[in-house]
Amino acid sequence: MASLCVLVLLVAASSVVQGHENIAAVVSQMGLLEKEINQLKVELNHLKSDVPNKMDILELLLRSDLTERIVSSYIRSQIESFEATVNSHVMSQIKHLKRGYQQMKRQTLRLTRQLGDTVKDKDACEQQREQEGDEAIFIN
């Protein structure tokens, strides 16, 4: 843009040096060049304003694509993490229940043995009483 202005000034200066009769033509050319420069400035501004819009659109498209990929990946990882947590909790509860079951089973066996021993002791005591009672009858 600056080189164009320098060119215009050089053309104007050379025309002035050649004579005053060309001044009107030089002024006319300078006016035309100025209009062209202004038109180019307007077009450049349009291009500048258009480029960011296209860049913004591209950026939005890339963001939406990345967001879609990232969100689905994030959701998938959260589901996997949640499943792992639930599985871990369920396995922990199952182990806890198994331990409780084994403990109840041992307690039941122990109580069964104690009850059996108690029944045997009671039977033994009753037999001994009966024998003592029979002996007491024989003694009398």
Q: Measured on CA atoms in the order 103, 106, 110, 115, is the torsion positive or negative?
A: positive
| Mean pLDDT calculated for residue range 110-114 | 93
The domain in which residue 40 lies consists of 2-139
Question: Which distant-in-sequence residues (6+ apart) come within 8 Å of 4 by Cβ?
Answer: 33, 37
Q: What is the pLDDT of residue 66?
A: 77
Residue 128 has pLDDT above 60, yes or no: yes
Domain count along the chain? 1
pLDDT band at 13 (very low <50, low <70, confident <90, very high): low
Per residue in 43-70, pLDDT (tens digit) is 878 777 766 677 777 788 888 887 788 8
Q: What is the pLDDT of residue 31?
A: 78
Contact indicator for 8, 30 with CB cutoff of 8 Å = yes
**Which of residues 41 and 19 earns the better pLDDT score?**
41
pTM, 2 dp: 0.41
The larger pLDDT score, comparing residue 74 to residue 89, is at: 89
